[in-house]
Amino acid sequence: MNCEERLKCVRDYAIQCITEETKSTLALIDQLDENFDKAIDLMFHCKGKIIVTGVGKSGNIGAKIAATLSSTGTPAFFVNPLDVYHGDLGVMTKDDVVLALSNSGQTDELLRFIPMVLHMDIPIIGMSANPKSLLAKYSTAHIKVWVEKEACPLNLAPTSSTTAALVMGDALAIALMQVRNFKPRDFAQFHPGGELGKRLLTTAQDVMRSEELPIVPKEMHLGQAIILVSKGKLGLGVSIENDQVIGLITDGDIRRAMEKWQAEFFDHTVSDIMTRNPKMVLPSTKIADIQKIMQDNKVHTVLVCDENKKLLGVVDHYSCMF
């Protein structure tokens, strides 16, 4: 097969690669044993940090695992074992746990780092394909991550093996999240700049419109109310009595009233169509909670009020978009 013919088969090559890596990933299920449980126990009770280490491709995977652990409630960072000899050993303490990755379990640069860890009496969680390797021998808990073959057609380039290691790292992180009862709010605190963080940390007070709110007294005729609702550009009008919210009308309420009463529409007042128990939230209500209120009640706007139902502002669907 020449080059042009091979170019026509690129999707087949992709399918073959994805299939092989998927098989290798699913095979990890049968490799889970008490060592995985022990690793979770060590990491959960760790009073310091999880120090992830590895060389080459294993190091690349280790860096990602460390990032995932850190963002899901387990303090962790990556250390290249080659840098340990140039001062990085100082970041390690006896309260830490080391997670060491090596496909063979025999990587020389990594093994030279192990005696230092053992001397400091730091527990080691090893992750390799060989449960009889030196890494496994010196590990407090050894997690087996073995693949039958690489997705690489030459069975040389780390493909299935690195994917499997990455998935096992994710399994550790997810299991720890469950054990810690890690919640979306916790995740937001570790991702304050992301969309999720904004939704979970931003409050109604941060985004509400509080000026020139469309106020429509309950005795106002609907013909006048239409004008105020239109000027307010929120698609609603709020009825207030004795400094408390008593009702809400929307442009949808107005349209339905016009269809129902037609020529008699202008004889009716705000009190005839207003919703007397509109959805209200406190200024401290998180945007994520407001979005859920909108979704559950099929509304596009909520009123922001204090404990005494005094109107402070309005939050609409677009205010919640980041």
From first to last of the 322 residues of the chain, give the pLDDT tens digit: 667 766 767 888 899 999 999 999 999 999 999 999 999 999 999 999 999 999 999 999 999 999 999 888 888 989 888 776 555 566 788 899 999 999 999 999 889 888 888 988 999 999 999 999 999 999 999 999 999 999 988 888 999 999 999 999 999 999 999 998 877 666 665 655 555 666 677 899 989 999 999 999 999 999 999 999 999 889 999 999 999 999 999 999 999 999 999 989 999 999 999 999 999 999 999 888 998 999 899 888 999 999 999 999 999 888 876 5
Q: What are the beta bridge partners of residue 241?
A: 244
Query: How many CB atoms neighbour CB 85 within 10 A?
Result: 12
The domain that holds 216 is classified in CATH as: 3.10.580.10
Q: Are 266 and 222 in contact (CB under 8 A)?
A: yes
* Structure tokens, 221: 């005729």
Q: Quick one: which of 109, 113, 133 has its CA closest to 122?
A: 113
Q: What is the pLDDT of residue 275?
A: 94
The answer as to whether 194 is a domain residue is: no
The domain that holds 59 is classified in CATH as: 3.40.50.10490
- As a whole number of angstroms, the distance between CA 127 and CA 138 comes to 12
Same domain, 148 and 213: no
Same domain, 113 and 226: no
Q: Are 98 and 125 in contact (CB under 8 A)?
A: yes
Same domain, 140 and 27: yes
Same domain, 156 and 258: no
- As a whole number of angstroms, the distance between CA 268 and CA 218 comes to 10
Q: What is the pLDDT of residue 82?
A: 77
Sheet holding 280-281, edge to edge: 280-281, 301-305, 311-316
Same domain, 219 and 302: yes
What sign has the CA pseudo-torsion 29, 35, 38, 44? negative
Same domain, 253 and 124: no
Same domain, 31 and 146: yes
Q: What is the pLDDT of residue 312?
A: 96
Number of domains observed in the structure of the chain: 2
Same domain, 155 and 237: no
Same domain, 164 and 18: yes
CA atoms within 13 A on the CB side of 206: 15
The answer as to whether 289 is a domain residue is: yes
Same domain, 103 and 212: no
Domain span at residue 38?
Answer: 3-182
Q: Are 204 and 313 in contact (CB under 8 A)?
A: yes
Whole-model pTM: value is: 0.64
Query: How many CB atoms neighbour CB 195 within 10 A?
Result: 11
> Which of 121, 152, 182 is the last residue in one of the domains?
182
* Structure tokens, 277: 């128990």
Same domain, 173 and 210: no
Q: What is the pLDDT of residue 73?
A: 82
Same domain, 21 and 61: yes
- As a whole number of angstroms, the distance between CA 320 and CA 322 comes to 7
Q: Are 195 and 186 in contact (CB under 8 A)?
A: no
